[in-house]
């Protein structure tokens, strides 16, 4: 396409060289993230859950640090701003959108994990079934946020107990 245009050929060559360097660097970063995830027992534990990859696991482990600092696993969803805001005054009781308090990076990672569960084939997942039923009632966005909150709770419990993901146990808490 740039044949016969010497200025465009120089620009295209420079852009292609920059793209090659960026691709090589990105591959190096991805390799490093996978190495970090494999080296940490807690991230390997979390990666047994559906939709949770190396980035989500590393982000969550870094944010939680010590699971014992939470009084219960349910608090983890609220800690990352995945619970609805409440306004109560007199006879008013308004439930709003999610509060978005806490670490936005973890909230985003959990939302992306929920997106993966809902949009990709996850075989025999009770979490996906629960979220799809919710999506039919309330819409896909709300279902993703609810599933992200549930993932935050499940991942915290996994860290606190040191257990791998158990689909049957998640199914009982998903109902």
> Which tens digits make up the pLDDT trace of 67-122?
999 999 989 888 898 888 778 888 887 777 787 888 889 999 999 999 999 998 87
What's the mean per-residue pLDDT of the chain?
A: 89
pLDDT of residue 98: 81
**Residue in the block written with tokens 């009781």:** 93
CB 100 within 8 A of CB 78: no
Provide the 10 A C-beta neighbour count for residue 145: 22
pLDDT of residue 99: 77
pLDDT higher than threshold 90 for residue 123: no
Measured CA distances, 155 to 4, 23, 147, 161 (Å) = 58, 32, 12, 10
CA 111, 167, 71, 93 torsion: positive or negative? positive
Q: For residues 115 and 174, what is the distance between their CA atoms, to the nearest angstrom?
A: 17
**Residue in the block written with tokens 């992200």:** 148
What is the value of pTM for the model shown? 0.81
CA nearest neighbour of 165 among 109, 127, 121: 127
Q: For residues 111 and 151, what is the distance between their CA atoms, to the nearest angstrom?
A: 9
Least confident of 19-28, 50-59, 141-150, 166-175: 166-175
pLDDT higher than threshold 70 for residue 28: yes
CA 135, 136, 137, 139 torsion: positive or negative? positive
Q: For residues 81 and 99, what is the distance between their CA atoms, to the nearest angstrom?
A: 5
Domain spans, the chain: 1-39, 41-174
Q: How many residues can be counted in the chain?
A: 175
């Amino acid at each position: 396409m740039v044949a016969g245009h010497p200025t465009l050929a120089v620009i295209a060559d420079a852009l292609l060289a920059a793209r090659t360097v960026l691709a090589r660097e990105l591959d190096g970063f991805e390799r490093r993230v996978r190495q970090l995830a494999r080296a940490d027992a807690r991230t390997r534990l979390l990666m047994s859950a559906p939709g949770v990859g190396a980035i989500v696991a590393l982000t969550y482990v870094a944010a939680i640090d010590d699971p014992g600092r939470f009084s219960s696993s349910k608090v983890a969803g609220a800690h990352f701003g995945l619970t609805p805001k409440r306004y109560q005054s007199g006879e008013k009781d308004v439930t709003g959108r999610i509060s978005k308090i806490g670490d936005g990076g973890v909230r985003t990672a959990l939302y992306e994990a929920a997106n993966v569960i809902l949009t990709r084939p996850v075989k025999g997942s009770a979490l996906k079934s629960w979220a799809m039923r919710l999506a039919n009632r309330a819409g896909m966005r709300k279902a993703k946020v609810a599933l992200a909150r549930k993932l935050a709770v499940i991942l915290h419990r996994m860290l606190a107990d040191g257990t791998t993901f158990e689909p049957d146990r998640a199914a009982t808490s998903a109902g």
